[in-house]
Chains A and B, each alone.
Chain A
Amino acid sequence: MLTTLKRAALGATTAIVMAGAALANPYADYAGTTLVVNFPAHPHYNAVMKILPEFTKETGIEVEVDQLPYLKMRERQTLELAQDEGDYDLIAYVVFSKADYVYADQLENLARYFMNPKLADPNYDADDLIDGYVYNIGFAGGNKGYLEGKTGSLFGVPYGSETSILGYRKDIFEKHGLEVPETYEEMLDIACKIPELEPGMGGLSSRAASGHHASHAFLLHLAPLGGRVFDDNWNPIVNNAAGVQAAEALKQIVDCGPEGATSFGFGEALGSFLAGDTAMFLDTTVVAGQINDPARSQVVGKVGWAMHPMGTRRGSQTGGFGIGIPKNAEHKEAAFLLMQWLTSKAGDKMVALAGGNPSRFSTHADADVNAKFPHMATFGEALKHADPDWRPIIPVWGKINADLGTTLSKVLTEDLDIQTALDGVAERTKAVMDEAGYYTWQ
């Protein structure tokens, strides 16, 4: 009832504005529409929540946000996108959902919108979007189905791009004359030295809890150490030397980590760093805002940032979210306008200033943003080394991920032999891939 009233009132206002100005306002046709969007409960999207009122003020388009934790969000979307007519006009999706949604033909191809002169903003400057993320998050149908390639096209725009970065306690490193680690060897060495130097403090806090968390932590080390989940013919190679090395690194980190590290999810891992219980933190860039928030963090001002250490190569993760328009959405065009507004140069800067993760080169170089967040320059540098292939984004990944995560958790808590564990994962993965038809052409 209230929304109807509001709608009516807004409609009237816009009508007046249009009659008065009769100017070409690209938003005019859609003013008064209420978009229903599905966003994750995530620091970047919390920043988005702060700038959304600005969008409504500027365009007259109302936005109703359904914010869910990201794994829940994925479940909800699975259901919503399968309906003939869905509730959501715009969704944010986790990187690894890309494969599922595009494969099931549930996301709009964005070509139609960027072609439409009434909708596409000529000053959008798509080249300014960070390439790696556009391909990683928005692109589908290229090489291997999920990478950059001539056969691919765009189904979403990266929004809330993350990469991995090393946070370290400047005060602790200074006190003991430690060098900021450049390589994996140095990092592991320091991680295990810290508990000796600072009794009660853990070396590096990492996620390790069963399932997605353990798998994520493992993959984080796999790419820099030169490993991959699959070779070019989709044969699982997680159990090769690099894979074993990555699992050993993870185990060593957890063993030298804070108390209870084996049950840490992302929240606990970050919490322990925020509480000053660990000297280092290696995970997504999204944490910067919380580390500088005195209400949640006891290490404000004590944290320095460095690049994800090198193994045999640089290979920080690419992750985060993209936004796309569901095939079954009601207000697709207005949704596109919101998407464009959010990811435009102005929108990207606004959300960065509100504490979000920018997705554009220009925002990372922006003077205002850097003045407010000095770490932004390091983050921008890290983005250049982000590895889009650190995790395969294929429809069966969810299942493999779950298996990998629970098996690794057993390695961490039940002392399962690493080689045996990874061999098991490889064998089961092979079966999953076979069933999904990846070996049809061999």
Chain B
Amino acid sequence: MATKGINRLTPYMFMAPAAIIMGIALLYPLGYMVYGSFRDWNPSQTIGESEFVGLKNYITLFYDPAFRESLSVTLTFAFAVVFAELLLGVGLALLLDRNIRGMSILRTLFILPMMIAPVVVGLMWRYMYHPTVGTFNRFLESIGLEGVDWLGQHALMSVIIADVWQWTPFIFILSLAALQSLPRSALEAARIDGATPWQQIIHIKLPLMMPVLIVTALLRLIDAFKVLEVILVMTEGGPGLSTEIVALRISRTATEFRELGTAAAMSNYLLILLLLLTLSMFAVTKLQEARAARLARQIQEED
């Protein structure tokens, strides 16, 4: 009897520390944020001293052109980086999926950028983009071209390039792993049937990699919404609002404009957006899994 009781409690005992910590420092704060988003609240007040204003913060934000702009910057940034990284990462993986000496060293060097602090990545690129001192403009000038106003006129593009530099390896490594775990038999069969490398890629490799690719892309997409430090260090959101992603706007609203309520409402908008993305990720994964299973079965049957 006693042992049975212990057995039933065991999983809860294993779960308890994680549940408590996530409850205190993740779920409760999220609830607190929702509560705060209905209040006119500044950093010198405790939340109890603040005034209840209903949906005012949400409505103001909805009609606030600056917030809308930063929302569109965020979406542009997130989708642009994921698209570019996917293209480059998968392309490189297909190209480098060969049995060559030094592949592991190559992979090691490739993951260096993504292990380095975003703050450091930001300052490295800020230096390289510097209009006069920076590496790029110096190079352009040395070959007789005119310098580019990287962080001025083309700030969003420059920020995207920096992120692509940092995160393409992520997609590359995952696609490479996916490629190398493809069923050899299917590829072998295709080769015997006389499929060209291109046909192999389009008809066999890509469809089989698809589930992994979609998950990877969605993971990157969610991560792209978390980017903050790189942009903060490189441009601080400028010029204008051209690189002011929502995460940065939240932090500015909270610290610079001292409007915690509005910042909380903004966080909520961002959270809802991400929630929708995550849900679609679930749905797509499930769908893809089913399709991939069917596909794998088909190939096996053809064997």
Contacts and interface: CB of A to CB of B under 8 A. Distances in A.
A287 to B, nearest CB: 18
Contacts of A414: 240, 242
Interface residues of B, number: 30
A406 B240 CA distance: 5
A410 B240 contact: yes
Contacts of B133: 271, 275
B239 A210 contact: yes
Interface string B122-136: 000000001111000
A108 interface: no
Contacts of B242: 210, 413-414
A78 B242 CA distance: 28
A338 B113 CA distance: 48
B22 interface: no
A263 B43 contact: no
A259 B239 contact: no
Contact of A261 (B137, B152, B236, B255): B152
B152 A210 contact: no
Contacts of B241: 210, 406, 410
A300 interface: no
Given A259-B131, A263-B131, A210 B237 contact: yes
Contacts of A209: 236, 238-239
B239 A409 contact: yes
A60 to B, nearest CB: 35
Contacts of A81: 44
Categorize the interface residue count of chain A. Answer: 20 to 34
A402 interface: yes
B28 interface: no
Interface in B221-245: 235-242, 244
A275 B132 contact: yes
A409 B258 contact: no
A398 interface: yes
B152 A262 contact: yes
A412 interface: yes
A407 B241 CA distance: 9
Contacts of A65: none
A412 B137 CA distance: 21
A399 B253 CA distance: 9
A15 B111 CA distance: 62
Nearest to B153: A413
Contacts of B155: 263
Interface in A398-421: 398-399, 402, 406-407, 409-410, 412-414
B158 to A, nearest CB: 10
B66 interface: yes
Nearest to A413: B239
A210 B240 contact: yes
Nearest to A271: B133
B240 A104 contact: no
A211 B132 contact: no
Contacts of A263: 131, 149, 151-152, 155, 235, 238-239
Contacts of A275: 132-133
B106 to A, nearest CB: 35
B240 A409 contact: yes
A387 interface: no
Contacts of B235: 210, 263
A149 interface: no
A412 B132 contact: no
Contacts of B137: 259
B257 interface: yes
A263 B280 CA distance: 38
A104 B150 CA distance: 42
Contacts of A261: 131, 152
A222 B240 CA distance: 20
A26 interface: no
B257 A398 contact: yes
A271 B132 CA distance: 10
Contact of A260 (B132, B240, B256, B257): B132
A413 B257 contact: no
B183 to A, nearest CB: 51
B67 to A, nearest CB: 12
A295 interface: no
B236 A211 contact: yes
Interface in B63-118: 66
A258 B258 contact: no
Given A275-B132, A406-B66, A78 B149 contact: no
A56 B249 CA distance: 43
A259 B237 contact: no
- Most B-side CB within 10 Å, residue of A82, A262, A414: A262
A360 B248 CA distance: 41
A75 interface: yes
A115 interface: no
Interface in A195-241: 208-211
A149 B277 CA distance: 58
A260 B130 CA distance: 8
24 contacts: A71-B256, A78-B258, A82-B43, A208-B239, A210-B237, A210-B241, A210-B244, A211-B238, A258-B131, A260-B132, A260-B152, A262-B152, A262-B153, A263-B155, A271-B133, A272-B131, A272-B132, A398-B256, A406-B241, A409-B238, A409-B240, A412-B239, A413-B239, A414-B240
Counting from the closest, the 3 A-B pairs by CB-CB distance are A260-B131, A210-B238, A262-B152
